[in-house]
């Protein structure tokens, strides 16, 4: 890919720090990842909120959990991590979301049952919390917009004057072109990996033979501030509304233990950098470095705050 020419860009006024610069609503699914040997809390909004909180921001996880043991675990974990619980709803009738992981000879398969608590985030409560928090950024993905939660997201975004970070998650078979299109219409910044950019191009009939051309059409068609494209070990790049591209090349890792949640870590640091006014090149480099560090530990969220200490020190947070 011949896009790794680092452009020195003048970032737009939209990239400058905003009011309520540390408040982020992370909207969507909280899931218990269940495998034969263990269960762990997860879901992209949960992971992003944990990272942002550990790095000194003020995340509000807006989700819905059952009145069951995993729901109690979620509430306790949020308390232990010092997360704002105003966005946590409890559902008396439906279970906390579950993602069932099964190891097979050909790899890992996942199952996501329907009618779980996170699909029924209450719209009125979402709106009320949004008005109370006044977030600078709302984070959401495409996977969370199932059931009543779609309306809750719409009510939340209608109630706040904030930027919107869309983390595209094209997880089969829960891929919906209408949801993707609507999500992009609501977004300020969209993050995708390289494979997702190709699939989005096919879904939306984007013109252009190169990733840059497709990203440029995404920005233009949906009025985005920028798109952010990750491509694993090779690094990441971002294109803004002026057409300027900034990139970071990947660095070799001594070992890869677990890549799950690396994209969520990348998103969290990029959001933090956006709200703190870091230049785009710095945002990319720091987000990429953080994601790579996560790949060297087990799990999507570190168990200890010690993991974050070098980043807090080096980034002067």
What is the average pLDDT across 85-102?
A: 90
Q: 3-class secondary structure for 146-169? A: CCCHHHHHHHHHHHCCCEEEEECC
pTM equals 0.90
Higher pLDDT, 172 or 119: 119
Sign, CA dihedral 262-267-272-278, equals positive
Please name each of the domains of the chain with its CATH number.
20-314 (3.40.1190.20)
DSSP secondary structure string, 256-279? ----TTHHHHHHHHHHHHHHHT--
What is the average pLDDT across 216-223?
A: 96
Higher pLDDT, 39 or 62: 62
Q: Give 89's strand partners.
A: 64
**pLDDT tens digits, one per residue of 261-293:** 999 999 999 999 999 999 999 999 999 999 999
Q: Indicate the pLDDT class of residue 216, thresholds 50, 70 and 90.
A: very high
Residue 260: per-residue pLDDT: 86
What is the average pLDDT across 109-137?
A: 91
Residue 103: per-residue pLDDT: 53
CB 206 within 8 A of CB 218: yes
Q: Indicate the pLDDT class of residue 12, thresholds 50, 70 and 90.
A: very low
Q: Identify the burial level of 85 via C-beta atoms within 10 angstroms of its C-beta, where 0-12 means exposed, 13-18 middle and 19 or more buried.
A: exposed
Residue 1: per-residue pLDDT: 38
Q: What is the mean pLDDT of the chain?
A: 88
Q: Indicate the pLDDT class of residue 18, thresholds 50, 70 and 90.
A: very low
With 80 as the cut, is the pLDDT of residue 35 above it?
no
Q: Indicate the pLDDT class of residue 39, thresholds 50, 70 and 90.
A: confident
Q: Indicate the pLDDT class of residue 4, thresholds 50, 70 and 90.
A: very low
Residue 170: per-residue pLDDT: 86
What is the C-alpha separation between 152 and 120, in angstroms, rounded?
A: 8
What is the C-alpha separation between 266 and 279, in angstroms, rounded?
A: 16
CA terminus-to-terminus distance, the chain? 34
Q: List CB contacts of 72: < 8 A, sequence separation 6 or more.
A: none
Residue 37: per-residue pLDDT: 64
Q: List CB contacts of 94: < 8 A, sequence separation 6 or more.
A: 66, 115, 116, 117, 119, 120
Length of the chain: 317
């Amino acid at each position: 890919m011949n896009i790794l020419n680092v452009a020195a860009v003048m970032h737009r006024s939209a990239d400058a720090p905003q009011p309520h610069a540390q408040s982020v609503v992370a909207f969507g699914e909280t899931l218990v990842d269940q495998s034969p040997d263990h269960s762990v809390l997860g879901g992209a909004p949960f992971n992003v909120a944990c990272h942002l909180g550990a790095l000194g921001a003020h995340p509000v996880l807006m989700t819905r959990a059952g009145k069951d043991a995993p729901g109690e675990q979620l509430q306790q974990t949020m308390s232990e991590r010092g997360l704002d619980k105003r966005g946590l709803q409890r559902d008396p009738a439906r279970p906390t979301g579950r993602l069932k992981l099964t190891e097979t000879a050909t790899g890992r398969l996942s199952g996501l049952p329907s009618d779980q608590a996170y699909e029924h985030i209450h719209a009125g409560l979402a709106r009320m919390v949004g008005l109370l928090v006044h977030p600078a950024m709302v984070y959401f993905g495409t996977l969370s917009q199932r059931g009543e939660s779609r309306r809750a997201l719409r009510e939340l975004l209608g109630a706040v004057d904030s930027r919107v970070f869309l983390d595209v998650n094209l997880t089969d078979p829960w891929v919906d072109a209408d949801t993707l299109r609507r999500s992009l219409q609501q977004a300020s910044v969209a993050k995708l990996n390289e494979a997702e950019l190709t699939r989005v191009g096919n879904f939306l009939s984007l013109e252009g033979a190169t990733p840059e051309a497709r990203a440029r059409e995404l920005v233009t068609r949906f009025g985005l501030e920028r798109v952010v494209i990750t491509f694993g070990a090779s690094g990441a790049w971002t294109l803004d509304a002026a057409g300027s591209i900034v990139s970071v090349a990947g660095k070799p890792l001594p070992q890869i233990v677990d890549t799950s949640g690396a994209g969520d870590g990348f998103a969290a640091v990029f959001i933090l950098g956006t709200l703190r006014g870091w230049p785009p090149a710095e945002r990319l480099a720091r987000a990429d470095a953080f994601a790579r560090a996560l790949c060297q530990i087990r799990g999507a969220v570190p168990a200890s705050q010690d993991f974050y200490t070098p980043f807090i020190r080096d980034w002067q947070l």
